[in-house]
Structure 1
Amino acid sequence: MKSVHFLAFAVVAILSLLIGYYVGTNAKGGSMNDIVAAVESGMSSNTSAAMKNEGASDGKVLATVNGAEITDADVTALYETLPAQYRQAPKEFVEQQLLDQLVSMAVIGQAAQKENFGEKAEFQERLNTVRDQLLQEYYLKEKIDEMVTDEVIRAEYDKFAAEFKPDDEVQARHILLKTEQEANDIIKLLDEGGDFVELAKEYSTGPSGPNGGDLGYFTKDRMVPEFATAAFDLPAGEHTKMPVKTKFGYHVIKVEDKRQTQPPAFEEKQEEIRGQKTNSMVTTMIDELKAAASIILLTPKEDEKMEEKSETEEKSGSEGADKKD
């Protein structure tokens, strides 16, 4: 894999220059090691595609290496494994460089086959490890696809929506001021017909000031108690007649609307549910497989360890006493 890693680094170096030129800046978004790892993974997965036998091609043939075809589909497959920042440029822009790398991979692979590197014990050991990993991944994928279906996700969402407990929430604005007197002055202006939004933009010291003091919708537990109590006690459309003091300063609050929370839409929730069901299913499946298997952990029990330690200490103490005598 060292040769593949070297080739991956070459791909990164070349594409960094090309795509930096294409977008007018250097490619960013990850460390060189991370990018090399991602490219290496893609190159490894496409090595066999680059060394296909003649007559087994898929798509337009772009090159042959000792009779083995490299096709447009092979280049596309390698391009799609690149990190996102290296796919800023279209495939056509880096196609020649990717083809060159596939040719390099093909000649190395063919040389390794010619010298029977595939028969070496170290290679076979690694191949078996990779095979086991792929087999495990394939098994889990098939079981997940079989058990975590769209129907299961929909049923879980329907259950969630049915059990959802709505909570009261308000939409409010506020004007945050440093002193009580300033807050009273704002309340007086509001009582005289002043526009809350404009006053917030002009006088509020809070981050929501430029937005007219808008805090959006919130439930009672999301605000400090003094603020929340005042806001939820106000009828919609009215502002506080007294300043509300909190650790942030003095607030003048206006409630725009009141409503109850609604469960998130299915489209917003489905991926979270899918992840939860997948994790639960995998955990249950592994537990069941373990329960059905004969598993022997060849490690000493803690009490046996303690006995061995005690015997060692007693022996050491006895030898020390003998030396004194």
Structure 2
Amino acid sequence: MKSLPTFVATAILSLSLAVPAQVIAQDRIAVATIDGESIWLDEIMAVAETLPPEYQQQGIAGIYDQLVDDVANSRLAAIAARSSGLDKEEDVASAMRTAADRVLAEAYITREVGKEITEEAIQAAYDTYVADTGSRETVTASHILVETEEEAKAIIDQLKDGADFAELAREKSTGPSGPGGGSLGSFGRGQMVPAFEAAAFGMPVGSFSDNPVQTQFGWHVIQVSDKGIQEAPALDQMRDQIAANLSRQSFARIVETLRVGSTVEIRPLADVMAEARQAAENAQ
């Protein structure tokens, strides 16, 4: 088996089913000892979170021993490294500081984000989504697609004279919906190209285009036969998506707040690479 160097949901969920989360968080549970020093459950869980996807299928029972062995081996190697003074070498010490900073930063951000992702916040975001019916509007429409504006205007004149839209679509439309009378069925926001969407959603039910609509496909004459509001999914169906959206928003706010009062200056990559090449040449 490969050394265990990202197992995520399966391992954590499996342990969570057997061990209450509050116990894992508050009371350290020993899984092994090295010369009387404990290896803790949270240590092997930290390794579990870095496992590659192929281990996800095994479940915690299939990799528990290897996880503990990996932590034990790392602990023993670190002890040996400190005994040899390796941790005092500047490049190693710098890497250790960088790793420690990253762990601390990730822990801080995770904790701060977690404070904001409450059940109340999720419910409020869901309520906002439900109230925003505009994002769930649908239109049932048909269209006739032709190559020129003149053709489209001539079709509009025929419709004004009482011609049947579906018949004209079957006769004149160059689009794939033509044989079906131009029917596009029902669609929501973001499913059509912008110019077509704006025209269709802006038309009253039962109307057809006053003026042709141009898109990259040609010229359209649109007929709207119905409008509606798509039912909002249940909260449980959206919970993970809402939590993820709130997490991204929270992360952005936290990072923005951290940067207030600090100046971050990024050197151009070209300058950095030039300096690196010069350093490499000087080292030869």
Please, what TM-score do these two structures have when normalized by structure 1? 0.44
- Which one has the largest radius of gyration? 1
Indicate the structure whose relative CO is greater, using CA pairs within 8 Å and at least 6 residues apart: 2
